[in-house]
Structure 1
């Protein structure tokens, strides 16, 4: 172990030579605050660092923790690195120091104390015998039952009673020490550090116990479920896999607005094929535009009220949905501005996989937010259309893989952003049933146009509560974007700008296509068509720059001349969209 403190691994010595020019450029960009460049460095070196940390600790779970801490420290102190060609050796030293600090607290395989320590340490604090599983569960169930009775809710009381009976059955698969650590972490919400002190054991061992206990309980849950299903149905158990067919819902390539694309695919599986322009319009995605106040990274595309927007979108299409959402604790959460209000959840299989099985077994795919999208994307909306219990994978769409891809159950469970939505059924509305299809479409078009005008003039109503996450939306978003390009002191994010031009160019084009289908009459229709033409011209300006600044992963910087051209195109695009909004306002006056 001592050699790790003084000698770098062979692979490290090779990597210590000057980095390639592209990687050194990423380091220099990251020093200037380019988070996307640092994210690229993270992707390049995470696997290697994890291997070093695992060799040092002998514990894969602890290695993940160490690498995460090392990258956080590296990001915070990147400005102190004077020689950018030595980034990897510098990062290695940070990882080594983090590992040594963890090992000084105790490695994962040192001598461990008996379970009775917990009882002796807790003497005087709890009257219950926590060594006795039956007594512990009875105590928990009694407290939950008393709370439910105080709330005057018999249904809640029954639900909690059933829950603890299920926990009782599952926890018997753990030995005494595993049960003690598991309940201390999940029921009493003690930190791993507190549990390590309570048991007089290394903190690494606590992580290992928690990890192994999760696995054992997960397997026991599957075993119990299979047994119950066999008894109830007299069959061989629950369905082990289900993969739905993927019909083509549009002859065009996948939409860059992956939320709308995924919903279109979900409806196509239900044999409800919708026109892409209609979906882009009534979802209001085609008329939205949001730019970060901090950088030209394209995170603003994803920052909106997910639950309300998705519910409204499906509602306009005549469907009811159920949403499962959350964010993992102690995990870096992407697009935090969108999910900061989600409840904090634990990465437990029983909280996610049964939800997926339920809908797929009914022939219903699920909407899913994928933080492992294929490059050049960082994360995207997708659709889960299959699962396989034997191989423990789900099948889902990906913008870069036409045939779909797979994710392991663990990948889904440990996704730091949890968002799944399944269709429960169709809405029953007698009033809309009496309306003609033309009247329904006209009403939806008027709602969409009202949104477009309101959004353009006043911006998005949804704003993150986290102070440092701020965005500019509507027509003002153009000015924010142009400001980044014309500011000589600002370093535009090249990758983000490529994404923004490609995405918003397509949005404006679909806005034009949708407006051409509006079922208005006379002067209102004429004005709407003029607005459609203006959106088309805005799209041409954005598409032209998208060809010059393609959406790809690259360390290439934007030249001063290209920055100027991009700013000019954005100015013209804003003028066209401003004119479009003026036409839509006049059209609304005629509709009134």
Structure 2
């Protein structure tokens, strides 16, 4: 018999002569062996009772496992130590009936199987659900050891248990009492209120607060364990890629396109920023928030699908981790936030995303593979690039893709704790074979679709040509937020400058030749001229509504009647030029649909 089993057997014999009440007292003092003896004595009875209710072996086993977890963590509430048997029986009964109320049961996978799937990136478990976490902890910790004294299995069991106990310790005494009464003993808020002399409303408030704290603590613990596992595997290191050229001199207000340009620097087909802006369609975007022309308009789109399609347009597939399940807040304005809200301390008070552990692993894997990672809201609500990491100091090496913050190291736990509380990381995964004619055709198709079709956030925004009408309506109604208006002016002006440059390069043969290319090149030069003509009215709008100046004058006064009238006139002239450009794109697209691929 191995030494570990001898010790376990010796402890069992030591407690066999003790009565239940003495074992309960010892267990309350933290003696796990005493609790183990209680489990050994009562497990068969618990299982039989659970099976008589659930009528299923697997369901009964899960009930017992969950009941044991609840008993262990709630043992301190058992005032009469001689009544352990009826007390644990009540917990089993509550768990069994709760199991039945959830519907037909199925055999669940073991915790180790679920962990393996999670590490493989599959959505096998709801780790954001606290009930699920605790239930699985109970299932794995209390399973009979089928592996003898396997050190690996023992380590897994210990780490699982330590995770559970660490999570619960984040609660105050009162929070823990209320939470455990609700979750472990299945008491109603009204019953808990009577027990602790609290109103039902107070119980709900404590439960809500406790669940949020526990969820955050769970994420923090998982991240700590992730870093510890890297250390134990000997892969703790500092890994820094070459700094992306696009970060050395940010040249566009469209940080999504700048980040894509940075990603492509590490591939075998890097592209100039003007080609990225054009081919991805960002040179033609306009997305205006109704009523206020909000600052979030340009970034109110589904990041994952849109940016993935943008990369596909230039011949690459992407992978991403995102918790963007709702539109960005239309009135969220970083420029108007109090300075204390922008500090590192303020970030640390915001909630971590449930996907934080997965995102951290994603960043490590991508950088280790030699690819930077595109990330949202790492410095402030724009896109940035992570191109390195330092495990020992838990820092990313990253750069902001705008002209505001430059480059810096950022703590791991700042990820997902930005102003808008959203996580998004993306990297290039593989290349797609695509000829230049198809790339250009797809670009024109994307631009036309954006100009004419309303995208996802229809209620808050209007995109394309119709966006100008929403913008004009807001100016005429005197409802415009000045800094947001100014930001939109500068960003769209910059985008159209790149649209002109893109079509100039296409007209000059930047994408090579194919049958019909002479006609397409001629139309591209016409489109370039139309986009170039937008520069003068946009320059006047930029002068009227300055952005990169002192906050006291930033944004100008778009709601002043004379200024609004001038702005409306200029926007109408821009819209007319854009309408003509769309007609040219229609003609280009028709030719490219007919022309077969035949490169010279």
Fold-level similarity (TM above 0.5) = yes
Aligned partners of 1:181 and 1:209 also within 8 Å: yes
| CA gap 1:493/1:158 in 2 versus in 1, 3 angstroms | closer
Write out aligned runs for 1:200-349 (5 A).
215-227=220-232, 229=233, 237-249=234-246, 253-270=250-267, 272-327=269-324, 334=329, 346-347=353-354, 349=356
Aligned partners of 2:486 and 2:547 also within 8 Å: yes
Q: Work out the CA distance in 2 between the residues paired with 1:189 and 1:419.
A: 35
1:582 Cα deviation (Å)? 2.0
Aligned partners of 1:328 and 1:347 also within 8 Å: no
| CA gap 1:218/1:328 in 2 versus in 1, 3 angstroms | farther
1:572 Cα deviation (Å)? 0.9
Cα deviation per residue 1:68-105 (whole Å; 9 max; x = unaligned)?
A: xxxxxxxxxxxxxxxxxxxxxxxxxxxxxxxxxxxxxx
Q: Work out the CA distance in 2 between the residues paired with 1:260 and 1:221.
A: 32
| CA gap 1:586/1:221 in 2 versus in 1, 3 angstroms | closer
- Out of 310-319 and 478-487, give the one that drifted further: 310-319
Write out aligned runs for 1:84-123 (5 A).
115-116=76-77, 122=91
SS at match of 1:397: strand
Match of 2:339 in 1: none
1:345 Cα deviation (Å)? 8.8
1:534 Cα deviation (Å)? 0.8
Match of 1:126 in 2: 95
1:270 Cα deviation (Å)? 4.0
Aligned counterpart for 1:475 among listed residues 465, 470, 476: 465
Cα deviation per residue 1:340-368 (whole Å; 9 max; x = unaligned)?
A: xxxx9944652322221111122211111
| CA gap 1:190/1:245 in 2 versus in 1, 3 angstroms | farther
Write out aligned runs for 1:378-389 (5 A).
379-389=381-391
Please list every run of 5 or more consecutive structure 1 residues that lacks an aligned counterpart in the other structure: 1-111, 131-139, 150-154, 230-236, 338-343, 374-378, 433-439
1:257 Cα deviation (Å)? 0.9
1:414 Cα deviation (Å)? 3.5
Aligned counterpart for 1:360 among listed residues 367, 382, 388: 367
Aligned partners of 1:322 and 1:424 also within 8 Å: yes
- Out of 113-122 and 215-224, give the one that drifted further: 113-122
Match of 1:95 in 2: none
1:544 Cα deviation (Å)? 2.2
Q: Work out the CA distance in 2 between the residues paired with 1:326 and 1:372.
A: 18
Match of 1:53 in 2: none
Task: Select the structure of larger CA radius of gyration.
Answer: 2
Aligned counterpart for 1:545 among listed residues 516, 541, 544: 541
Alignment of 1:172 with 2:161, yes or no, is: yes
SS at match of 1:173: helix
Q: Work out the CA distance in 2 between the residues paired with 1:276 and 1:156.
A: 33
Cα deviation per residue 1:536-582 (whole Å; 9 max; x = unaligned)?
A: 11133112211221224447633322222211111111111112122
1:254 Cα deviation (Å)? 2.6
| CA gap 1:355/1:195 in 2 versus in 1, 3 angstroms | farther
Aligned partners of 2:294 and 2:330 also within 8 Å: no
Aligned partners of 2:465 and 2:575 also within 8 Å: yes
Aligned partners of 1:478 and 1:570 also within 8 Å: yes
Match of 2:58 in 1: none
Alignment of 1:534 with 2:530, yes or no, is: yes
Match of 1:579 in 2: 580
Alignment of 1:510 with 2:498, yes or no, is: yes
| CA gap 1:190/1:470 in 2 versus in 1, 3 angstroms | farther
Q: Work out the CA distance in 1 between the residues paired with 2:121 and 2:270.
A: 41
| CA gap 1:211/1:582 in 2 versus in 1, 3 angstroms | closer
1:189 Cα deviation (Å)? 12
Aligned partners of 2:277 and 2:498 also within 8 Å: yes
* Count of residue pairs brought into register by the alignment: 426
Match of 1:557 in 2: 557
Cα deviation per residue 1:174-196 (whole Å; 9 max; x = unaligned)?
A: 575855999989xx7999x9799
Relative to the length of structure 2, the TM-score reads: 0.60
Q: Work out the CA distance in 2 between the residues paired with 1:419 and 1:336.
A: 20
Q: Work out the CA distance in 1 between the residues paired with 2:245 and 2:373.
A: 17
Q: Work out the CA distance in 2 between the residues paired with 1:388 and 1:194.
A: 46
Q: Work out the CA distance in 2 between the residues paired with 1:168 and 1:328.
A: 34
Cα deviation per residue 1:297-331 (whole Å; 9 max; x = unaligned)?
A: 132211223222222222233322211111599xx
Q: Work out the CA distance in 1 between the residues paired with 2:488 and 2:501.
A: 20
Q: Work out the CA distance in 2 between the residues paired with 1:322 and 1:446.
A: 24
Q: Work out the CA distance in 2 between the residues paired with 1:483 and 1:259.
A: 28
| CA gap 1:496/1:360 in 2 versus in 1, 3 angstroms | same
| CA gap 1:207/1:589 in 2 versus in 1, 3 angstroms | closer
Aligned partners of 2:237 and 2:392 also within 8 Å: yes
Aligned partners of 2:295 and 2:331 also within 8 Å: no
Q: Work out the CA distance in 2 between the residues paired with 1:316 and 1:453.
A: 14
Match of 1:72 in 2: none
Q: Work out the CA distance in 1 between the residues paired with 2:464 and 2:403.
A: 29
Write out aligned runs for 1:369-408 (5 A).
369-370=376-377, 372-373=379-380, 379-398=381-400, 399-401=402-404, 403-408=406-411
Aligned partners of 1:266 and 1:366 also within 8 Å: yes
Match of 1:4 in 2: none
Please list every run of 5 or more consecutive structure 2 residues that lacks an aligned counterpart in the other structure: 1-72, 79-86, 100-104, 115-119, 126-135, 141-152, 197-202, 333-350, 510-515, 595-600
Q: Work out the CA distance in 2 between the residues paired with 1:348 and 1:262.
A: 22
